[in-house]
Amino acid sequence: MSTILVTGSAGFIGSALVRQLRKAGHVVLVFDVAQGDITSEKVLLPYVDKGIQHVFHLAGKTFVPESWKDPFGFYQVNVMGTVNVLEFCRKTGAAVTYISSYLYGEPDYLPVDEKHPVKSYNPYSQSKVMADATCQFYARHYHVPVTIFRPFNAYGPGQPTLFLVNEIISKVMDPAIPVVEVMDLRPKRDYIYIDDLVRALILSMGKPQGIYNLGSGYSKSVEEIVLLVLKYTGINKPYHSKALIRPNEIFDLYADIRKAGSALGWSPQVSFEEGVERCIQAFSSTL
């Protein structure tokens, strides 16, 4: 059993990770935004003498539209917060697992593997590109044991309805909403269920360091998600596209996940259909 620090422990991924680590018997220490500023060296000082062997660094700002309004805040938290965690690991000898995301932009080829060029297309993704590169720098030059995961679209019960799968479920199941409206029915994404993501994170402890894509290996369109939710809820409700294309929209993206399979022995266990059904069940229990 290990002593582990999880930053961003109150978030969607962090809270699920903490539960599973504790269930496995690990000693888990937590840090979240309510405890202070992740960019401040002082906030990590109380953890220095705790014998931490592994850090899962999940703390960060994530909502893309907000990043256009507050780019400085995103660079400050996502880049300098990561530097702060890497410095902690450099000084204490702890290993770190970092969650990166939204790095690839418009794909040059599909499926996207870890050698695909990274491209920033909004302040959020640019901050993640910079933090990802900084993790690689610390691994090369300071020999900090670093594992970088690049998950595609994570989803699951409890995720805020700002994110697509639960947004669609809430619109379908809300009787006050007569028509399910979405921006665009066409974009396709690769979705990874929260349990599969957490399992990969835990597997990174003691396994070969490196960079790994996490996803399902296939993509689903917005329209396919709407139809799936209508099917599993048994609700007959019309749906409509506003035909609004987001800036720098990507119309298809899915991951090559073979590296995580060969190096970590990981593969997704929850199909998208089963994952959506679980999200619907969880949402129904809150009504």
* Tokens read off for 216: 């399902």
Kindly calculate the radius of gyration of the chain based on its CA atoms and give it in whole angstroms: 19
List Cβ neighbours of 278 (8 Å cut-off, separation of 6 or more).
156, 157, 193, 270
Q: Do 254 and 112 form a contact (C-beta atoms < 8 A)? A: yes
- Give 7-20 pLDDT, tens digit per residue: 999 999 999 999 99
Q: Estimate the crossing angle of helix 222-233 against helix 164-173, to 10 degrees.
A: 40
CB atoms within 10 A of CB 41: 12
**Structure confidence at residue 65 (pLDDT):** 86
Q: What is the pLDDT of residue 248?
A: 78
Domains for the chain: give ranges and CATH numbers.
3-154+192-216+254-269 (3.40.50.720)
In tens, the pLDDT along 72-98 reads 999 999 999 999 999 999 999 999 999
Reported confidence tier of residue 224, pLDDT bands at 50, 70, 90 = very high
pLDDT at residue 241 in the model: 96
Q: Among candidates 171, 267, 269, 178, which has minimal Cα distance to 225?
A: 171
Half-sphere exposure of 14 (CA within 13 A, CB side): 21
- Per the rule left: phi > 0, alpha: psi between -120 and 50, beta: everything else, 119 is beta
Q: Check if the beta carbon of residue 149 is closer than 8 Å to that of residue 97.
A: yes
Residue 8: predicted pLDDT: 97
Q: In what order do the strands lie in the sheet with 95-99?
A: 27-31, 3-7, 54-57, 95-99, 146-151, 210-214
Q: What is the pLDDT of residue 121?
A: 86
CA dihedral angle for residue 124, residue 127, residue 128, residue 133, rounded to 10 degrees: 160
Distances (CA, A) of 123 to 70, 105, 129: 9, 12, 10
Amino acid at 205: M
At 49, the pLDDT band (50, 70, 90 cuts) reads very high
Residue 14's pLDDT is what?
97
Confidence of residue 156 (pLDDT cuts 50, 70, 90): very high
Inter-residue contact 214 to 255 (CB < 8 Å): yes
Q: Are 184 and 121 in contact (CB under 8 A)?
A: no
Provide the pLDDT for residue 208.
Answer: 84
**Predicted confidence band of residue 246 (pLDDT cuts 50, 70, 90):** confident
> What mean pLDDT is predicted for residues 146-174?
96
**Cα–Cα distance list, 185 to 19, 221, 251 (Å):** 35, 7, 10
Q: What is the pLDDT of residue 63?
A: 84
